[in-house]
C-alpha cells in the first residue's frame, strides 16, 4: 500500500506486533496507513500510531470501560486518549519512552484482544 508505514525489525512496534500475533486467529492488515491487528480476522484490537498525528510512536488499543481514564490518570507520560477511537474508550500507549514496562504493555494488548475477540476464541485461548 503506498504511503503505508513499515515496522522496523527490533523496534518497539515490532515487539507490539509479536504480542498481537501471539493470539489465535489474529491477522495483521493495514488500516489508515498503519499496521493493525484483527481478532478472528474481523475486528481491530490494536493499531499502530507511528507518528500518525505528531512525532510520537505508540499504539491504540481497545479497552474495557474505565480503563482508559484509569491508565491516563495513573501515568499521562505513557498513556493517552487517542484520536478517532478515544471516545469509545480505547487507550493509547507511547512506546517511544525509556524503560517501557513490557509486562504492562502485554496486559494492555491482551485486554484489547479479549475486548473484541469472538467468545469461542477467548474460550479456546483460556482452555
Helix or strand holding residue 15 (H, E): helix 12-21
- Which phi and psi angles does 88 have, rounded to 5°? -95, 5
Look at residue 21 in the predicted model and tell me its pLDDT.
96
12-126 topology per CATH: 3.90.1150
Contact call for residues 44 and 116 (beta carbons, < 8 A): yes
pLDDT of 52: 65
How would you label 28-61 residue by residue, b for 16+ Cβ within 10 Å and e otherwise? eeeeeebbbbbbbeeebbbbbbbebeeeebbbbb
What is the mean pLDDT of each successive set of 10 residues along the chain, which is 127 residues long? Answer: 65 94 95 90 91 82 96 95 90 92 96 96 95
Q: What is the pLDDT of residue 1?
A: 42
Note the pLDDT of residue 115. Answer: 96
Whether pTM exceeds 0.85 = yes
pLDDT at 4: 62
Residue 40 near residue 119 (C-beta atoms within 8 A): no
Q: Hey, where are the domains in the chain?
A: 12-126
The span from the CA of 49 to the CA of 96, in Å, is: 11
Place of cell 479479549: 114
Specify the pLDDT at position 110: 98
Amino acid at each position: 500500500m503506498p504511503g503505508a508505514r513499515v515496522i522496523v525489525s527490533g523496534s518497539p512496534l515490532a515487539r507490539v506486533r509479536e504480542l498481537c500475533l501471539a493470539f489465535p486467529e489474529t491477522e495483521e492488515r493495514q488500516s489508515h496507513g498503519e499496521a493493525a491487528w484483527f481478532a478472528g480476522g474481523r475486528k481491530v484490537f490494536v493499531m499502530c500510531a507511528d507518528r500518525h498525528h505528531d512525532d510520537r510512536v505508540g499504539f491504540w488499543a481497545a479497552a474495557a470501560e474505565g480503563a482508559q481514564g484509569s491508565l491516563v490518570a495513573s501515568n499521562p507520560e505513557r498513556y493517552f486518549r487517542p484520536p478517532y477511537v478515544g471516545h469509545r474508550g480505547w487507550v493509547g500507549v507511547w512506546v517511544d519512552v525509556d524503560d517501557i514496562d513490557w509486562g504492562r504493555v502485554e496486559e494492555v494488548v491482551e485486554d484489547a484482544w479479549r475486548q473484541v475477540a469472538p467468545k469461542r476464541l477467548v474460550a479456546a485461548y483460556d482452555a
